[in-house]
Amino acid sequence: MFNSGLWRVRRISDMVPEILELQREMNRLFSNVGHKSPVEYPAVNIREKDSAVLVSAELPGMDHEKLEISVAGDALTIAGGAPEESLAEGETYLRQERTTGAFQRTIGLPFQVNAQEVEARYEKGILTITLPRAADDLPKKIKIG
């Protein structure tokens, strides 16, 4: 009735490496619980339209003249400084989620950009950058001869 071949009996010492591996994996999975994950600043949306990339970045309260935008090949860099909010006497933060101070974010683009034709505008806290694809990077039609 009882077939010992169905049951695999192992010594505890044989299972130690597997238990340690399980412990390492559990520690890795739960190591960031309760910690805020780093967020890239500014938050961006990136889309493609008509051989151009459109980048929109959330930059509330910024002075657009203090923003620096640069393009090198297929990388866009946005830099500036988020103004520090001063508290009135007797005020203390209960929660502070908005980033302040200097920032720089470099974003990889899907193709080379024509830096001479890049356009940027800042309206209602949103920076919108239009980055046209470089003519050298456009797909080429090849004739079969």
The total number of structural domains in the chain stands at: 1
In a domain, 58, yes or no: yes
The CATH number of the domain holding residue 112 is: 2.60.40.790
Question: Beta partners for 22?
Answer: none
In a domain, 33, yes or no: no
Find all residues with CB under 8 Å of 35, minimum gap 6, and list them. none
Q: How far apart are CA 71 and CA 122, in angstroms?
A: 17
Q: What confidence score (pLDDT) does residue 98 get? A: 77
In a domain, 125, yes or no: yes
In a domain, 32, yes or no: no
Q: What confidence score (pLDDT) does residue 37 get? A: 52
In a domain, 81, yes or no: yes
In a domain, 38, yes or no: no
Give tens-digit pLDDT for 82-107: 878 888 999 988 888 777 888 999 99
- The backbone torsions φ and ψ at residue 95, rounded to the nearest 5 degrees and listed phi first, read -155, 135
Q: Give the count of beta carbons closer than 10 Å to the beta carbon of residue 53.
A: 21
Sheet with 101-108, strands from edge to edge, namely 68-72, 75-82, 101-108
Q: What confidence score (pLDDT) does residue 9 get? A: 62
- Could you tell me the residue range of the domain that residue 122 belongs to? 44-85+101-137
Per-residue pLDDT of the chain (145 residues; tens, 9 = 90+): 555 555 566 677 777 888 888 888 887 777 766 655 556 889 999 999 988 999 999 998 888 999 999 999 889 999 998 878 888 999 988 888 777 888 999 999 998 999 999 999 999 999 999 999 988 877 777 888 7
